[in-house]
Amino acid sequence: MALFLLGAVQTKAQRHKSKTRRSSVEKAVEKFDPATDPPFLNASQAWVDSVFSTLTPEERIAQLIMIPVYSNKDQVHIDSISNLVTKYKVGGLIFFQGGPVRQAQMTNRYQRETKVPLMVSIDGEWGLAMRLDSTVRFPYQMALGGIEDEQLIYEMGAEIARQCRRLGVHVNFAPVVDVNNNANNPVIGFRSFGEDKYNVTRKAMAYMRGMQDNKVLANAKHFPGHGDTDVDSHVGLPVINFSKIRLDSVELYPFRELMKNGLGSLMVAHMNIPVLDNTENLASTLSKPIVSGLLKEEMGYKGLVFTDALNMQGVAKFYEPGIVDVKALLAGNDMLLNTMDVKTTIEEVKKAIANGEITQEEVDARCRKVLAAKQWLGLDNWKPIETEHLVEDLNNPHAQYLNQQLVEASLTLLRNKQNILPIQNIDTLKVAALAIGTKKETDFQRGLARYTKVDTFFLQPTASIAELMALKEKLQEYNLVIAGVHRLNLKAGGSHFGISAEMNMFLKDLIRSKPTIVGVFANVYSLAELESLDKADAVIAAYQETPQTQDLASQMIFGGIGAKGKLPVTINNNFRIGDGLRTNGGLRFAYTMPEAVGLKTEDLAGIDSLVAQAMAQKATPGAQVLIAKDGKVIFRKAYGFHTYENERPVQVTDLYDMASVTKISTSLAAFMKLSGEGRFDVDRTLGEYLPMMEGTNKENLKYRDILTHQARLKSWIPFWKETVKKNGKFKWATFKPDSSRRFPIKVADNLYIHRKYAKKIYKAIAESPLNEKPGYVYSDLSFILAPLVVQNITGEDFETYLKENIYHPIGATSLTFNPYKYYKPEQIVPTEVDSLFRKQLLHTTVHDEGAAMLGGVSGHAGLFGNSNDLAKLMQLYLNDGKFAGETYIAGNTVSRFSKCQFCDQGNYRALGFDRPAKPGAQNSNAAPSAPVESFGHSGFTGTYTWIDPVNNLVYVFLSNRVHPTRENNLLGKLNTRTNVLQVVYDAIEKSKEVQQ
């Protein structure tokens, strides 16, 4: 049962006492100024009085004590804290390492056991993740110092406050307002906003206001300024030999400005400052001239004053637990942080009162001040923390997107010779992604690979000369190296941040020998240790090594996002404060969240459910789903496994057999490009473009009719059946189990077709009868002939033409025929177990029989690729032939091809593209809300892509629903592919309603 005294009944004598005693808090309330005073000075005094009147003198002392708690320790620790709470009635807790649910459970227990509600605090400079697992890690303050948009930092403060409140935390020991003007500072450094006092103040103000506007007490630290020290106060006592003028003009400036704007609390540092107090080995925390004299009297600070942790060696090496606490209290501090001996502390304070070193009235005034803060923080109406959904709430999409925005805004581009960034003409580059400092693939390398083909290399700090020479040799064939510097030491010191001479030598030589882009994922001061860095073609300061910084740095390099950050400190003569070049984003895909385009992550949750339903009903063993809106990929996921054996999970980079999506991705891509160049006309005939059709019944078929499937062509021809004898075996001159000069063309594993068999297929098409009745009949036949048409026009073979003119220039490098030539089998998702023709599981070779017999290359089927690269091609279509600032399909050709050609005749197809059927008609080719202007195509293997120019959408769904058999058509019956897209439309509609 909670023992909170939320409104204790007062005796007549107590009421008289409270009337005659006027605390400093009460006096302050009379002239409370919400613009400048700490917010809790406006607390309800009724509650403060009622609680205070029930406290014994010992309990009033205990209210000033905050003890350290860990949620990753054993039951003995948990119970020991309980004992301190119940026995001594301590005023607060500071939580250290652990996890949010464990911390919440402990907090609930202690709050129920306490007499007066506990003030709970945490060191969360970069959010709860500074101490707790399973939480969002916001950027270090040094990175925030590089951000120009301070509203983002306010939003971060607000979000951190929301998370603190959700976890039952009331005070966050942030922001750090130390002006870091010493690059060798071993304890602050990356924790500071930078070396400019004005920038530090602006950033700290935004952070403070964000928290306090959301009812969490901010705490400026470390008074009077810890930014120019070369000793870590955790291990020793720094000595600051500045003049008072210097301290006043630099170190104290941010504190003073925050105090003018309602700073709720601050923390006093453990530093020896002779100009303020020349007592030998005395930390500022224990100095009355500094805490009471300078801070409270001279500067007039009214907020809560916390000591820094009293178990740090800056004070602990000179005084025993309990003794150090009473000295801190005598100095003028209000809250004793990390009291290690509560019993002794209370006894020593009582002795100090008895000795006249401090009065009971002074202790009482501080106690009432703490109670006032507790009331403002809502502890007069404490409610237990709800642990259900706690982790999800702390990792909410708003926080994740805000974190992404902060990192993006901080990334600082320090060199960009000849505007190498964002990278252009990627098809002319052979790119090596080098990870310096690690041997494991990095998030940076994976991020780069989303844009084009990159080969990965690694340089460990301990590399031998032989290994360095071997790596140098391997990199000779590349004309661009993108190097990430990883796993450096976070703090300054004698180790040069962990940069070895070998690393330096290699990078220096690399920069001298070829175009090199360097991203440094580390403390920004480490840039000074990297020789010749200023000679690199591009240099990105990322400030820290997180998956997010690496992801976004890779996006900056390829123009998914722009560069915005400014250096908040001077590194050396080459990299100075304020440096930071700007680039524009939007050149290629950005990879982000639905929130980036005004949608909500939660509104797309139905996608997971729909895919899960399809997999549960065995409509497909796995899938890839990608959604891009406004040129930003807002959803990109892989689901399930390659097969129902559940042995290999689907990765977003795995390749799927596109089936008939091949038609719009190969044949149509070529036709549109050629049309834009005036080399292909849909009103000319098949016979004009393909001489072999002259004299046949196909000669005069117009391509406008062919591409809308109303040219009376048969839907398909089962070519493979002509190769089989009555006994089920292949005819002698068709297939062989081994390749040879006469049978060089691979159809499937251990199955090779005669080198001239393609002619029979083309002849069969030429001789096939036309349908008797005119009208729409979906046909593969013209698309089988498309590669011949393209080759006849261009003089290039079909695959080479597509790769060189479209796929590689836009970075769609996984789009390929016959992926077994370029990829490992485990990167390719299998399709059907073919029991009739090829008698095997089709894996790495095309599913479609006709395409297989043509050696895997056809215009109707045969293309493989992943969702990311197919989306690039679809984005090219959405942009009407433009991508990354270049035009690949000219003359508004895509717009022309994607329009309905014969709607008045009941044929709702575009040229090659599928479109929504007649409005109101039952159809499964498009989502119900897909506008009439949208277009796309589906594939027999379970693939689907859709382009919506009205809502600026690209959608890709890849699956292998034909595994293990094509007879399984559940995916179509469930309408999974179109229903997933409908979730997006519903989310768009919902966002419009919210905006209205």
- The CATH number assigned to the domain holding 423 equals 3.40.50.1700
What string of H, E and C letters represents the secondary structure of 402-429? HHHHHHHHHCEEEEEHHHCCCCCCHHHC
For residue 201 the two structure tokens come to 């103040």
What is the spatial distance between Cα 283 and Cα 277, in angstroms, rounded to a whole number?
9
Q: What is the pLDDT of residues 52-64, one digit of tens each?
A: 999 999 999 999 9
Q: Could you tell me the end-to-end alpha-carbon distance of the chain, in angstroms, rounded to an integer?
A: 47
What is the spatial distance between Cα 799 and Cα 817, in angstroms, rounded to a whole number?
7
Q: Which residues contact 82 (CB under 8 A, 6 or more apart)?
A: 109, 110, 113
Owning domain of residue 534? 411-583
Q: Looking at residues 539-551, what average pLDDT do you find?
A: 98
Task: State yes or no: pLDDT of 535 exceeds 70.
Answer: yes
Q: Do 385 and 417 reside in the same domain of the chain?
A: no
Q: Do 539 and 437 reside in the same domain of the chain?
A: yes
- Within a domain: residue 402? no
Task: State yes or no: pLDDT of 14 exceeds 70.
Answer: no
Q: What is the pLDDT of residues 646-672, one digit of tens each?
A: 999 999 999 999 999 999 999 999 999
- Within a domain: residue 104? yes
What per-residue confidence (pLDDT) applies to 30? 57
Residue with token string 């993108």: 482
For residue 907 the two structure tokens come to 């044929």
For residue 909 the two structure tokens come to 């197809």
Q: Kindly indicate the confidence band of residue 238, based on its pLDDT and cuts at 50, 70 and 90.
A: confident
Domain count, the chain: 3
Give the pairing type, strands 431-436 and 454-459: parallel
pTM of the model: 0.94
Angle between helical axes of 781-794 and 757-767 (0-180°, round to 10): 110
For residue 54 the two structure tokens come to 């029930």
| CA 7 from centroid of its chain's CA atoms | 47
Q: Kindly indicate the confidence band of residue 23, based on its pLDDT and cuts at 50, 70 and 90.
A: low
What is the spatial distance between Cα 487 and Cα 442, in angstroms, rounded to a whole number?
11
- Within a domain: residue 18? no
What is the spatial distance between Cα 426 and Cα 448, in angstroms, rounded to a whole number?
12
Q: Do 492 and 352 reside in the same domain of the chain?
A: no
Active-site choice (308, 334, 654, 780): 308
What is the spatial distance between Cα 43 and Cα 377, in angstroms, rounded to a whole number?
9
Q: Which of 234-243, 410-419, 682-691 has the lowest mean pLDDT?
A: 234-243
Task: State yes or no: pLDDT of 5 exceeds 50.
Answer: no
Task: State yes or no: pLDDT of 759 exceeds 80.
Answer: yes
Q: Do 225 and 277 reside in the same domain of the chain?
A: yes
What per-residue confidence (pLDDT) applies to 11? 43
428, 477 Cβ separation under 8 angstroms:
no
Share of residues in the chain with pLDDT > 70 (%) = 96
Q: Do 258 and 313 reside in the same domain of the chain?
A: yes
Angle between helical axes of 150-166 and 397-410 (0-180°, round to 10): 150
Q: What is the pLDDT of residues 666-679, one digit of tens each?
A: 999 999 999 999 99
What is the spatial distance between Cα 79 and Cα 311, in angstroms, rounded to a whole number?
21
What string of H, E and C letters represents the secondary structure of 641-664? ECCCCCCCECCCCCEEECCCHHHH
Q: Do 369 and 476 reside in the same domain of the chain?
A: no
Q: Coil, helix or strand for 320?
A: coil
Q: Do 336 and 474 reside in the same domain of the chain?
A: no
Question: Which of 523, 550, 583 is the endpoint of a domain?
Answer: 583
Q: Looking at residues 517-533, what average pLDDT do you find?
A: 96
Active-site choice (133, 213, 234, 398): 234
Q: Looking at residues 178-201, what average pLDDT do you find?
A: 93
Per the prediction, the chain carries an average pLDDT of 95
- The CATH number assigned to the domain holding 196 equals 3.20.20.300
What is the spatial distance between Cα 884 and Cα 947, in angstroms, rounded to a whole number?
18
308 is catalytic: yes
What per-residue confidence (pLDDT) applies to 996? 76
What is the spatial distance between Cα 174 and Cα 139, in angstroms, rounded to a whole number?
13
Q: Do 341 and 416 reside in the same domain of the chain?
A: no
Between 430 and 923, residue with greater pLDDT? 430
Q: Looking at residues 155-183, what average pLDDT do you find?
A: 97
Between 370 and 226, residue with greater pLDDT? 370
107: left (phi over 0), alpha (psi -120 to 50) or beta: alpha
Q: What is the pLDDT of residues 77-121, one digit of tens each?
A: 999 999 999 999 999 999 999 999 999 999 999 999 999 999 999
Q: Which of 316-320, 444-448, 919-923 has the lowest mean pLDDT?
A: 919-923
Q: What is the pLDDT of residues 462-504, one digit of tens each?
A: 899 999 999 999 999 999 999 999 999 998 776 789 999 999 9
Q: What is the pLDDT of residues 396-437, one digit of tens each?
A: 999 999 999 999 999 999 999 999 999 999 999 999 999 999
270 is catalytic: no
